[in-house]
């Protein structure tokens, strides 16, 4: 977590599904004025430090809570598998309650984007907004995405000097991440044993139509997971009032590839959300 700004706090929240580790940074810790809290959910097989390019920018205006999600190689400890959509919304809702958060801007990337949208469908009570960055759950996962993941893992075995070029070739920003970010992840992956959590199944039209909180969808133009124009069309047709944007030059990990743009879009979106009680 060294690239993160200080001060920061590490928190553990007990839930019915295990102990969830959360990293906190922002106005509450620095003494500055605070907007509504932002909760960040990383992608599959990642951890909270994947959000390092966003922390300082978002934390200048909002308390930021980056979650090590259950069944991933972070510091959370799972004791019960969340086997369905409602259970995934339940454990995340328990995290919000344990942190004492009542008004939340929820942001997720990849599988974390699916978790965020799932919360907007099954547990929206505390949400002020939801943002999904190249999320799962909009289309069926294509075979090319698994090739992308495998290519990234092999790329991490390449000499360090070659990784940035491989990252650009494969549209995989993890290969260009600072060594202090990659080393803990590789260490955690050696002992990581995933459980049988549900895949990011596509949401049906009724579920998408049930998203009533303000929503923002950012999709990488070079995404290995999604067909950007199809996503924009499907979201626009079914999610009421959704904002969508295809991010040029970005692949699946657009928060790492285009951090300045992502930070700007997030802060603009948060500022535009209505004040008052969440749904």
Q: Outline where DSSP puts E strands in 88-211.
A: 104-109, 127-133
Q: Is residue 147 part of a domain?
A: no
Q: Is 55 exposed, middle or buried (0-12, 13-18, 19+ CB in 10 A)?
A: buried
Q: Is residue 186 part of a domain?
A: no
**Side-chain half-sphere of 261: how many Cα atoms within 13 Å?**
16
For every residue of 129-147, DSSP letters joined together read: EEEEES-TTSSPPPHHHHH
Q: Percent of the chain beyond pLDDT 90? A: 58
Domain that includes residue 231, residue range: 9-140+195-272
Higher pLDDT, 148 or 234: 234
Q: Is residue 54 part of a domain?
A: yes
- Least reliable range by pLDDT among 93-107, 160-174, 208-222, 243-257: 160-174
The structural domain count of the chain equals 1
Q: pLDDT tens for residues 36-87?
A: 999 999 998 788 988 999 999 999 999 999 999 998 888 899 999 998 999 9
Higher pLDDT, 21 or 28: 21
What dihedral angle (degrees, nearest 10) is formed by the CA atoms of 40, 213, 142, 229? Answer: -120
CATH at 114: 3.40.50.1820
Quick check: 153 pLDDT over 50? yes
Q: pLDDT tens for residues 242-262?
A: 999 999 988 888 998 899 999
What are phi and psi for residue 121, nearest 5 degrees? -85, -45
Return the structure tokens found at 148: 């992308």
Distant-in-sequence, close-in-space partners of 4: CB < 8 Å, separation ≥ 6: 23, 25, 49, 52, 55
Q: Is residue 2 part of a domain?
A: no
The model's confidence at residue 171, banded by pLDDT at 50, 70 and 90, is low
Higher pLDDT, 157 or 81: 81
Q: Is residue 155 part of a domain?
A: no
């Amino acid at each position: 977590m060294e690239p993160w700004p200080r001060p920061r706090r590490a928190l553990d929240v007990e839930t019915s599904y295990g102990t969830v580790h959360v990293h906190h940074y922002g106005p509450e810790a620095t003494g500055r004025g605070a907007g509504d809290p932002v909760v960040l959910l990383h992608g599959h097989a990642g951890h909270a430090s994947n959000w390092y390019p966003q922390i300082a920018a978002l934390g200048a205006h909002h308390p930021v809570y980056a979650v090590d999600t259950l069944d991933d190689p972070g510091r959370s400890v799972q004791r019960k598998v969340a086997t369905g959509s409602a259970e995934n919304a339940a454990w995340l809702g328990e995290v919000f309650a344990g942190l004492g958060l009542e008004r939340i801007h929820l942001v997720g990337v990849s599988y974390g984007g699916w978790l965020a949208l799932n919360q907007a469908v099954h547990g929206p009570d505390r949400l002020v907004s939801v943002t999904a960055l190249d999320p799962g759950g909009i289309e069926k996962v294509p075979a090319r995405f698994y090739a992308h993941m495998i290519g990234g893992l092999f790329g991490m075995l390449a000499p360090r000097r070659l990784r940035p070029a491989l990252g650009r070739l494969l549209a995989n920003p993890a290969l260009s991440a600072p060594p202090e970010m990659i080393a803990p992840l590789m260490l955690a992956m050696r002992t990581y044993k995933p459980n049988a959590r549900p895949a990011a199944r596509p949401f049906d039209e009724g579920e998408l139509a049930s998203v009533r909180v303000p929503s923002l969808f950012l999709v990488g133009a070079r995404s290995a997971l999604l067909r950007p124009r199809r996503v924009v069309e499907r979201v626009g047709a079914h999610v009421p009032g959704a904002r969508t944007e295809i991010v040029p030059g970005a692949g699946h990990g657009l928060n790492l590839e285009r951090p300045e743009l992502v930070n700007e879009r997030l802060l603009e979106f948060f500022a535009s959300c209505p004040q008052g009680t969440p749904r």
